[in-house]
Chain A
Amino acid sequence: MKMTPAEIIEEVKKANLRGRGGAGFPAGVKWGFLPKDRTRTLLCVNADESEPPTFCNRVLMETDPHQLIEGTIIAAYATQSQIAYIYLRVEFHEQFHILQKAVDEAYAKGYLGKRIFGSDYWLECYLHRGAGAYVCGEETGLIESLEGKRGWPRIKPPFPAVEGLFRRPTVVNNVETLSCVPHIIERGADWFTSIGPPHSTGPKLFCISGPVKRPGCYEAPMTITVRDLIEREDMGGGMLPGKRVKAVLPGGVSMGILSADELDMKMDFEDPRKYALLGLGTAAAVVIDDGTDMRMVLRNMARFYGTESCGQCTQCREGTAWMQKIASRIAMGAGRIEDLDILLETARNMGMMPGLSICGLPDGATYPIETIVKKFRGELEAAIRAQAPQRAKAVLSVLN
């Protein structure tokens, strides 16, 4: 409470704390976008963790909810917000109760509410549970949902920092980002920047799932590689006996796929671009073993986005559904070689970076499809050629 809000923002900027939600936008810079002459500011905590293999926010909320609340209080103080909303995905049932208990405890101790620590600053904190939509993890989708509307992302500008929740300047931050804030303030920006490479500072949580010995959530600096995450004894601990890595989705599903010979990719904010991936994403890796048919992976990816597209922008609404149809048909054994080209073209038409749509969902929907088709084209083509012609014909005749 000795620091002024401006000093906190400066410290966080100096620490180069990049958003842990997926896009990696510097949190301090985001706070700096708030207009100087604003009268009321709102803070939203994005706990709508819905990227498929990701569970680092869940772990944070289960094991140390007070760390999140502390980060929320500091961020709210820095942005001069007096209301903080924590937006939880509806599936976080247990986590909601844990967090609610922690918030109640914080109120009881006087850390939340009026005159925090005897200062003249007050902060109300509310938990809000979503209704189950991937797109509500997008910050403007979250804002719309929080307002009680359909979770359709908003057109920008105006950006939330200028006009967000209830048309007031709003900051939306991820759970993990805010959980870093108390440590930056306590130990200083220099401590934070001493961890990891200069463009990806601070500790980061990594999730690993799939056929590894120790699936779970591990903290490490952003210098580790995908191979480290799988092999290291204190992390994944290697593959299960008899399994070999065939591919890895290193940053949640939306960032794209790595083939087995690209495992030296560094898990930081910059390196994934070199491997034709969208970015670091949520740093949650799924390992796919050599017993898995890539057609099924493709179908699974396409189905997810076909279900989760919000339906607002044309390219995403129609494109994800079309890709889902094609991928399902290929998985059913009625693929055509030209389908792979159509998938690639559709992915491009849906607008890969820089996008054509209101939000980034179609970018995330196209990267896994495109990278799977490009990096595993040989296998997919072989599978299509090996289809039983009678079956393919039967499936096609039903669909036509």
Chain B
Amino acid sequence: MAGKYLDITGVGIEFDTGGAKFRALQNVNLVLEQGEFVSLIGHSGCGKSTVLNIVAGLLHATEGGVALEGREVTEPGPDRAVVFQNHSLMPWLTVYENVALAVDQVFRRRKSRAERRAWIEHNLALVNMEHAMHKLPAEISGGMKQRVGIARCLAMQPKVLLMDEPFGALDALTRAQLQDSLMQIQAELGNTVIMITHDVDEAVLLSDRIVMMSNGPAATIGEILSVGLARPRDRLELAEDPEFVHLRQQVLAFLYAKHAPSGQARSATPRRLTVPQGNTRPMRTQHTLPDPRATAPCG
């Protein structure tokens, strides 16, 4: 189904911050085709996560709406699985049980017990985690946890995979590894993906399109950049590819020349408050972008 697979139309949201209204998003429009990989990039607090949460159904837009395959999104569901930044595995369940919790819920009626078991193992194998199936999250590394988080989402066979800075909390080597895994899996399964990132290289490497957001308050989509690099992509070859370097520069130009971090360009804007959001949490510190408000909630 080419064309409007996922349709975000005129989305805006306002938060009530103890009397004062805070407008986080204004008139966000985006259409995704099936199988497309789209990155959202922008400065901290620009409402990227808010967009993702609205698509997930965890937050409700004040105006506008989201439609998936022509049906309006009203509540969260497994067809829009979310990979959260800090893995969010249940610490009391083993790796296998964490994935099983999702699989048993989604495929309770459609698959037999044995089929579900095979499906869980298949998905763990997809992210190379079958060796640690019976370990608790506390017993595996951060990168492994994030792999399991991704396996859990893939196992739900979502129509759209939503990733909220999935590799933000990982070290550079692990991040590169997981990026490669993700590219491979996406090539194999053809998932439709929206990924939030702070990492310009990551955005260019993985995406078909890069959606660059302007700074909040009342953030919206500034520019959309098509990435025409041929797949499969290889990070070593791309590093010297002129097209890659050019795309990278365009993203940087958007972020620093046109929409400099609000601390410098927007000193006159009203003081930002902590916005109550569905999954507000302090930012991890691994930015690729220098951020004057590193402790502000990730928007």
Whether A and B are associated in the same complex: the answer reads no
